[in-house]
């Protein structure tokens, strides 16, 4: 169903209607109440913000959804809408409190009340990013209110000094972040649980040292609608039985991940032929309401790709087709009170969140320690400290013996001492981590994701100094909290670091804040270099908290670093606006990398991550790597010589792609249509311009190329499109742009479909090509028989396509002004049906031209291919008429997904839906198309904050020079409460070995098998291979002593010093573009021979060009100066020279044994430059060698090193070196 949002008051107090229903009672998808425990209706209830009337402004639907597009991709727009109506009471303005509040405001919460009567202290500047030195001594809450309001001017931010029942009742959630006595906590928790008409969510979060604790209670009646946030599973229906427990057979659609629905899931059906009424069936959900869905059942012996549903005997028989979609329905998720869970929190990794897989059970020790600390504080009515350690340990033992705590553990005295020592000493990284976790829990009130079932206890004991620092006493500085754990000398080390931060988006903003608060790069010798080539967009503001609306359009690196310096004026930072890669190595050169202490990646793509990883390996620099995807995140510390590299971890899973045959001819899901439409955008508005320019430059070659194409269908499409474009370009106007759009409507949605119907009529059959056996109907399974479109100016999809496509072609033809950034009135008068109807009156319906059908990649056949050669030749004849015609300037479109008024997503939406209509597939709305076509990565502020906090702990360990066992690779899943941590993997070691090769059974004689049919050992081949050095890791290098060493000397050096015989060396210059069998782009290395040096043809040994071929052959064969293996090459070169009538000129680019390595590298750089210029190599991937001038060293990567054999000292057979370390060649 299309979701229509109506947003008032600039996103405050918003309401959403779905098919005419107000949001709040039921979830937009028609399932049970999304938020039964916290219904977001009720404007008079000040738990929800009613600021929309006060603001008096209206924000457009698209503008709001654009701002939250990345968040909506992770949470769903309906959850974001609920957030805008929610109000939170945050008790305390501690470091973790401001992190929680910041994340809530970024995610669009309607209002926050800060409750704290304390005044700011100097130490607060190290954990509170909104405080300045001038704020010391001022009341915290009122001081912070206007600064939080900057993050979202439309959120209601207020201050309060005292908690009261009346204040609590005005909010949907209470988050306690301050030191509140245990009796008070228990009282407020009970008040919130018993609130009417529904419970108020109650959370407690605290942190001290390397420990953090979170308590969550949403009341006894909470409902979870979507436990994991994953996209609903889609399956194609193959059959539906008639019976009391009907078996449904399904298949996996192209592009969808395989998997099974668990018992108890719910599904709904659509587009089913037969079984009338199956799509409207209702049954009760676990939450007690009726849902339009079927509960999934299974039996032990059921076949794969089947499920069972209920009784279908009352429905007509199944005829065919259909789509089955998983339906998320409400599940009761009751909570226990603070008193109950304090006594018995559950068991880690069972009914309690597990966080420590290295020290199993540490969560229970933390829980008991917290319980004991609170109990002692309640008894003495004051805060505890290290001096109370013995009393707290005694209290813990008393709690266990009296059964006030039902934990069955023994007190770990050592852990308790560490817990108590810093109980009231917060660390900023923990504040950031827990701030993300707790803010995400608040979002879960809306029924999205699985809440923490009571308690979460997290520690980072491995991050503590190995010995107790002696300089932890406070000195009245902003770093006193940090020094309280690590010492002031550690703070000084952090301050003088020279770091490089690559990227300044969501991760980069959080890192900059963390660096500033912890004093990283804030000393006299410190420097943080930050680079990001992007500029700030509106959609950045919900995650990248250093940016404000007035920053939109500004460089990210400069705006973010300006804000970071305001947080800590001592911060030394240099902001750059460039990418990091081979093309910028003149800036990021040897001196730059060599001068760094470490690198922090804040990137969003794998290619850049791998490049930075390679540079860190090359220059032996630690790298802090991390990433997020919606509510999931990862942390990967990369430390030279201690851990594996980022590349060692392998490529990120990109998921399964959609086969080309599906996109081209047989779509069966809306996503297939969207992907196809995205390709059409490139074809119509980018590639068409390139085709026109290519034709204008050399018409004859273009016509010849198209005429000899092996894909007639594609050639016909391209030539027809080019003809329409050339006609429009000959007389550029709005009308000619409209005709061009009209031509493409008929080409894409009428003619291409008619071609497919002609080739494969509705009654087409599939026959086995060998046996000629009839295998069934062609249009079956995932293939849907299409229908050709007829333009209807009253059909919204048709006229909206025509408007969007005309607008884009008008910009391409430059007959309308260029759209300016931020212009929301661009071509406003065109955006209506009347304008389109007037345009279409003057347009001509193009004649149908039969084309071919390309079904390459589809395993089924059975149709008759159309002979399209005649059609193609006729079109090329028309094209000849445009030879010599001038081509006016044409403007290629630059796809921009975040401008909702540039017609880009509008075109793709209407094109996708026209395609869907061709194939009887459900349509998609603008926002879904934007997410899919724009490849928008789900992103939320909470995950970013949590991950960046954890990265800081790894940075601390790096500065402390911790062993590999202390570093943690972490996987964070805020949706389902996964916080797994593993010891970082040591570097992968490459060792010599023996590979066993088992021959194919059919290639072996009968006596090669034993009585059990197993191949005998003597028939299994063994092949030894070597690693050099043995063993080695990617961090190791073979270092050449001098670049003046000649190639011959290098060969001798390998033999004498390393006992390696140089066999072959093909130097990789760069990469060429190729495609795999599915049409997916791949890169292929392009190399040139170095060793053995390639043969140089010396024309001085040529016979006279006046000789005949026979005489020339005799002279060449008899010339002792020409090596025997090269004689035929000389003869061929002589023949080429004779044909041209001149001797070849001497070549100066040949590799010789007496050339120095530096000369050879310079020569290779020149060859790489030439290969890029002449198009041999693809510039997308850059050159493998470039920028030698000014470099101090060049490293040959391990996968590009020369081929060598070992030279065994004992005279045994040499062995191929399969794994060789990188080779480092000094250049100075």
d(CA 674, CA 680): 10
Give the residue-averaged pLDDT of 378-403.
95
**What confidence category does residue 855 fall into, taking pLDDT thresholds of 50, 70 and 90?**
low
Sign of CA dihedral 335, 338, 344, 350: positive
pLDDT band for 521, please (50, 70, 90 cuts): very high
In DSSP terms, 283 is beta-bridged to 291
Helix runs in 640-769, H state only: 660-664, 670-682, 688-697, 699-707, 712-730, 734-746, 752-759
Q: Is the pLDDT of residue 458 over 80?
A: yes
Please state, in angstroms and rounded to a whole number, the distance separating the CA atoms of residues 1194 and 807: 51
Question: 299-303, 326-330, 797-801, 964-968: which has the minimum mean pLDDT?
Answer: 299-303
Question: Residue 254's closest CA among 757, 671, 861, 787?
Answer: 671
Task: Give Cβ neighbours of residue 698 (< 8 Å, ≥ 6 apart).
Answer: none
Annotated catalytic residues are 661
Does 51 score more than 80 pLDDT?
no
3-state secondary structure 1020-1086: CEEEEEEEECCCECCCCEEECCCCCCEHHHHHHHHHHHHCEEEEEEEEEEEEEEEECCCCCEEEEEE
Tokens describing residue 296: 């999934």
- 60: pLDDT strictly greater than 60: no
- b (16+ CB within 10 A) / e for 1016-1040: eeeeeeeeeebbbeeebbbbbbbeb
Question: Where are the strands (E) in 555-603, listed by range?
Answer: 573-576, 598-601
In Å, how far are 112, 705, 715, 1175 from 709, measured between CA atoms? 65, 6, 7, 21
Q: Which residue has the higher pLDDT, 370 or 537?
A: 370
Mean residue pLDDT across the chain: 88
- Within 8 A by CB and 6+ apart from 1152, the residues are 1047, 1093, 1096
Distance, CA of 459 to CA of 461 (rounded, Å): 6
- Distance separating alpha carbons of residues 1053 and 1059, to the nearest angstrom: 9
On the CB side of 510, CA atoms within 13 Å amount to: 36
- Confidence category of residue 1033, pLDDT binned at 50, 70, 90: very high
Least confidently predicted of 62-71, 294-303, 437-446, 624-633: 62-71
Which residues have CB under 8 Å from 1046's CB, separation 6+? 1153, 1154, 1155, 1156, 1157
pLDDT at position 1186, please? 87
Strand-pairing partners, residue 207, are 212
Give me the mean pLDDT over the 1098-1105 stretch: 86
Phi-psi region of 85 (alpha: psi -120 to 50; beta: other; left: phi over 0): alpha
Averaged pLDDT, 990-1018: 89
Exposed / middle / buried, residue 1197 (Cβ in 10 Å: 0-12, 13-18, 19+): middle
Alpha carbon 495 to its chain centroid, in Å, reads 32
1178 confidence band (pLDDT: 50, 70, 90): confident
Residue 332 has which token pair?
A: 């009761």
Residue 285 burial (10 A CB sphere; 0-12, 13-18, 19+): buried
Across the range 1136-1146, mean pLDDT stands at 79
573-576 sheet: strands from edge to edge = 573-576, 527-531, 498-502, 598-601, 623-629, 632-638, 968-973, 978-983
**C-alpha–C-alpha distance, residues 977 and 350, integer Å:** 12
Q: What is the pLDDT of residue 1090?
A: 93
* Buried-state track 648-687, b at ≥16 Cβ within 10 A, e below 16: ebeeeeeeeebbbbbbbbbbbbbbbbbbbbbebbeebbee
Global pTM value: 0.84
Task: Please tell me the predicted confidence (pLDDT) of residue 866.
Answer: 56
Q: How confident is the model at residue 44 (pLDDT cuts 50, 70, 90)?
A: very low
- Dist. CA 1072–CA 62, nearest whole Å: 41
Task: Please give the average per-residue pLDDT across 259-275, as a whole number.
Answer: 90
Distances (CA, A) of 913 to 61, 69, 833: 21, 21, 17
Predicted confidence (pLDDT) at residue 1064 exceeds the cutoff of 90: yes
Query: pLDDT class for 4, splitting at 50, 70, 90?
Result: very low
Q: What is the CA radius of gyration of the chain?
A: 35
* Residue linked to tokens 């119509």: 684
Confidence of residue 14 (pLDDT cuts 50, 70, 90): very low
Task: Measure the CA–CA gap between 305 and 150, rounded to whole angstroms.
Answer: 52
> In angstroms, how far is the first alpha carbon of the chain from the final one?
67
pLDDT in tens, 169-208: 999 999 999 889 999 999 999 999 999 999 999 999 999 9
Omega prior to 183 cis, within 30 of 0:
no
Tell me which residue of 540, 479, 535 sits closest to 507, measured CA to CA.
540
Tell me the mean pLDDT in the region 605-617: 91
- What's residue 966's pLDDT? 96
Higher pLDDT, 736 or 25: 736
The 3-class secondary structure across 891-911, one letter per residue, is: CCCCCCCCCCCCCHHHHHHHH
Reported as a single tens digit per residue, the pLDDT across 908-936 is 999 999 999 999 998 999 988 998 888 87
Q: According to the model, what pLDDT value does residue 30 have?
A: 29
Q: What is the pLDDT of residue 25?
A: 30
Rounded mean pLDDT of 996-1025?
A: 88
Confidence of residue 834 (pLDDT cuts 50, 70, 90): very high
* Four-residue CA torsion sign, 1184, 1185, 1191, 1193: positive
Contacts for 1071 with CB less than 8 Å, ≥ 6 apart: 1083, 1084, 1085, 1086, 1177, 1178, 1181, 1184
Mean pLDDT value of segment 313-330: 92
pLDDT of residue 794: 94
The Cα 427–Cα 551 span in angstroms is: 30
Residue predicted with more confidence, 78 or 266: 266
pLDDT(723) > 80: yes
Q: How far apart are CA 1047 and CA 81, in angstroms?
A: 68
Residues contacting residue 870 through CB under 8 Å, at least 6 positions apart: none
Percent of the chain surpassing pLDDT 90:
64
Band (708; pLDDT cuts 50, 70, 90): confident
Mean pLDDT on 24-53: 31
Q: Which pLDDT score, from 0 to 100, does residue 1124 have?
A: 85
pLDDT at 98 over 80: yes
Q: What is the pLDDT of residue 865?
A: 56
Q: What tokens were used for 704? A: 């010849």
CA–CA dist 605, 607 (Å, integer):
6
* Burial classification of residue 1201, based on how many CB atoms lie within 10 Å of its CB (0-12 exposed, 13-18 middle, 19 or more buried): middle
The 10s digit of each residue's pLDDT in 109-131 is 999 999 999 999 999 999 999 99
Q: What is the mean pLDDT of residues 69-97?
A: 89
Residue 61 reports pLDDT greater than 90? no
Closest CA to 1215 of 1046, 1014, 992: 992
Q: What is the per-residue pLDDT for 1099?
A: 83
């Amino acid at each position: 169903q299309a979701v229509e949002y109506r947003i008032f008051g600039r996103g405050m107090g918003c309401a959403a209607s779905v098919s005419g229903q107000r949001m709040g009672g039921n979830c937009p998808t028609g399932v049970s109440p999304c938020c039964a425990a916290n219904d977001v209706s009720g404007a008079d209830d000040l738990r929800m913000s009613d600021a929309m009337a006060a603001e008096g402004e209206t924000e457009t639907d698209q503008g709001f959804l654009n701002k939250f597009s990345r968040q909506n991709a992770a949470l769903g727009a309906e959850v974001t809408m609920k957030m805008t109506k929610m109000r939170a009471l945050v008790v305390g303005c501690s470091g973790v409190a401001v992190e929680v509040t910041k994340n809530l405001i970024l995610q669009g919460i309607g209002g926050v009340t800060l409750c704290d009567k304390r005044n700011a202290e100097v130490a607060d500047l190290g954990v509170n990013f909104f405080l300045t030195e001038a704020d010391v001594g001022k009341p915290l809450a009122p001081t912070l209110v206007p600064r939080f309001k900057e993050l979202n001017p439309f959120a209601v931010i207020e201050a309060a000094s005292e908690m009261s029942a009346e204040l609590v009742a005005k909010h949907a959630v209470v988050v306690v972040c301050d030191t509140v006595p245990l009796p008070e906590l228990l009282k407020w928790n009970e008040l919130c649980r018993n609130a009417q008409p529904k419970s108020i969510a109650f959370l407690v979060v605290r942190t001290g040292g390397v420990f953090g604790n979170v308590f969550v209670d949403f009341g006894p009646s909470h409902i979870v609608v979507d436990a994991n946030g994953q996209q609903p599973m889609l399956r194609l229906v193959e059959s539906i039985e008639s019976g009391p427990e009907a078996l449904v057979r399904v298949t996996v659609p192209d592009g969808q991940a395989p998997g099974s629905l668990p018992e108890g899931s719910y599904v709904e059906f659509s587009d089913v032929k037969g079984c009338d009424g199956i799509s409207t069936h209702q049954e009760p959900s676990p939450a007690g309401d009726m849902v339009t869905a079927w509960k999934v059942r299974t039996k032990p012996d059921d076949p794969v790709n089947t499920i069972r549903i209920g009784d279908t005997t009352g429905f007509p028989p199944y005829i065919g087709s259909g789509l089955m979609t998983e339906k998320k329905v409400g599940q009761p998720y009751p909570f226990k009170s603070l008193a109950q869970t304090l006594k018995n929190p559950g068991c880690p990794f069972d009914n309690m969140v597990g966080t420590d897989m290295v020290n199993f059970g540490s969560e229970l020790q933390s829980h008991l320690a917290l319980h004991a600390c609170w109990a002692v504080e309640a008894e003495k009515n004051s805060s505890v400290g290290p001096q109370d350690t013995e009393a707290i340990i005694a209290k813990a033992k008393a709690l266990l013996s009296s059964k006030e705590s039902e934990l069955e553990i023994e007190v770990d005295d050592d852990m308790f001492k560490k817990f108590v020592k810093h109980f009231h000493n917060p660390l900023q990284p923990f504040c950031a981590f827990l701030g993300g976790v707790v803010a995400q829990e608040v979002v879960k009130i809306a029924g999205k994701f699985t809440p923490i079932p009571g308690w979460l206890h997290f520690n980072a004991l491995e991050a503590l100094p190995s010995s107790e620092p002696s300089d932890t006493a406070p000195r009245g500085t902003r770093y006193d909290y940090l020094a309280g754990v690590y010492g002031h000398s550690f703070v000084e080390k952090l301050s003088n670091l020279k770091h490089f931060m690559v990227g300044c988006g969501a991760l980069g903003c959080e890192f900059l804040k963390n660096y500033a608060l912890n004093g990283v790069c804030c000393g006299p010798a410190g420097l943080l270099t930050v680079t990001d080539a992007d500029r700030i967009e509106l959609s950045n503001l919900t995650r990248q908290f250093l940016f404000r609306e007035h920053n939109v359009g500004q460089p990210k690196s400069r705006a973010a670093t300006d804000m970071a310096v305001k947080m800590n004026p001592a911060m030394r930072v240099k902001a750059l606006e460039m990418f990091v890669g081979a093309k910028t190595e003149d800036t990021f050169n040897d001196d730059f990398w060599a001068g760094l202490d470490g690198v922090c990646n804040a990137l969003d793509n794998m290619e850049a991550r791998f490049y930075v990883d390679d540079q860190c390996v090359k220059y032996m620099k630690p790298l802090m790597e991390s990433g997020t995807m919606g509510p999931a995140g990862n942390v990967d510390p990369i430390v030279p010589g201690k851990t594996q590299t980022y590349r060692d971890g392998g490529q990120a899973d990109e998921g399964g792609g959609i086969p080309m045959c599906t996109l081209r001819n047989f779509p069966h899901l809306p996503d297939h249509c969207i992907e196809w439409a995205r390709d059409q955008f490139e074809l119509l508005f980018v590639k068409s311009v390139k085709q026109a320019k290519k034709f204008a430059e050399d018409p004859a070659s273009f016509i010849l190329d198209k005429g000899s194409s092996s894909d007639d269908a594609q050639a016909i499409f391209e030539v027809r499109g080019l003809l329409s474009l050339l006609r429009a370009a000959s007389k550029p106007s709005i009308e000619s742009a409209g005709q061009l759009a009209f031509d493409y409507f008929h080409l894409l949605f009428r003619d291409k479909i008619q071609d497919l119907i002609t080739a494969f009529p509705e009654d087409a059959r599939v026959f086995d090509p060998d046996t000629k056996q009839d295998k069934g109907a062609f249009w079956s399974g995932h293939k849907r028989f299409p229908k050709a479109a007829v333009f209807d100016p009253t059909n919204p999809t048709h006229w909206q396509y025509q408007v969007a496509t005309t607008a884009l072609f008008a910009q391409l033809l430059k007959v309308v002004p260029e759209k300016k950034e931020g212009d929301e009135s661009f071509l406003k008068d065109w955006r209506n049906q009347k304008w389109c109807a007037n345009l279409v009156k003057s347009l001509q319906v193009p004649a149908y031209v039969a084309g071919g059908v390309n079904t390459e990649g589809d395993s089924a056949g059975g149709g008759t291919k159309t002979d399209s050669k005649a059609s193609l030749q006729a079109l090329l004849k028309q094209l000849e008429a445009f030879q010599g015609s001038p081509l006016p300037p044409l403007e290629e479109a630059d796809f921009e997904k975040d401008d909702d008024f540039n017609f880009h997503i509008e075109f793709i939406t209407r094109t996708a839906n026209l395609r869907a209509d061709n194939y009887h597939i459900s349509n998609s709305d603008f926002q879904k198309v934007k997410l899919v076509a724009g490849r928008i990565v789900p992103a939320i502020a909470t995950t970013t904050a949590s991950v960046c906090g954890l990265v800081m702990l790894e940075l601390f360990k790096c500065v402390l020079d911790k062993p590999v066992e202390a570093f943690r690779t972490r996987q964070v899943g805020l949706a389902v409460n996964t916080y797994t941590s593993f010891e970082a993997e040591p570097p992968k070691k490459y060792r010599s070995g023996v590979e066993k090769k088992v021959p194919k059974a059919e290639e072996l004689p009968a006596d090669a098998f034993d009585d059990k049919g197993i191949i005998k050992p003597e028939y299994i081949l063994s092949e030894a291979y070597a690693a050099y050095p043995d063993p080695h890791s990617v961090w190791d290098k073979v270092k050449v002593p001098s670049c003046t060493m000649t190639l011959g000397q290098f060969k001798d050096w390998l033999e004498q010093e390393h006992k390696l015989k140089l066999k072959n060396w093909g130097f990789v210059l760069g990469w060429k573009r190729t495609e795999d069998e599915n049409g997916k782009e791949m890169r292929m290395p392009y190399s040139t021979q170095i060793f053995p040096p390639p043969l140089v043809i010396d024309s001085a040994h040529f016979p006279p060009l006046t000789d005949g071929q026979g005489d020339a052959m005799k002279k060449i064969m008899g010339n002792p100066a020409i090596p025997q293996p090269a004689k035929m090459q000389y003869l061929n070169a002589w023949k080429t020279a004779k044909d041209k009538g001149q001797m070849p000129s001497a070549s100066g680019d040949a590799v010789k044994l007496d050339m120095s390595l530096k000369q050879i590298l310079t020569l290779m750089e020149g060859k790489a430059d030439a290969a890029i210029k002449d198009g041999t190599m693809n510039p997308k991937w850059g050159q493998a060698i470039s920028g030698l001038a000014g470099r101090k060293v060049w490293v040959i990567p391990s996968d590009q090193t020369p081929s060598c054999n070992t030279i065994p000292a004992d005279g045994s057979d040499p062995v191929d070196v399969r794994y060789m370390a990188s080779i480092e060649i000094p250049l100075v």
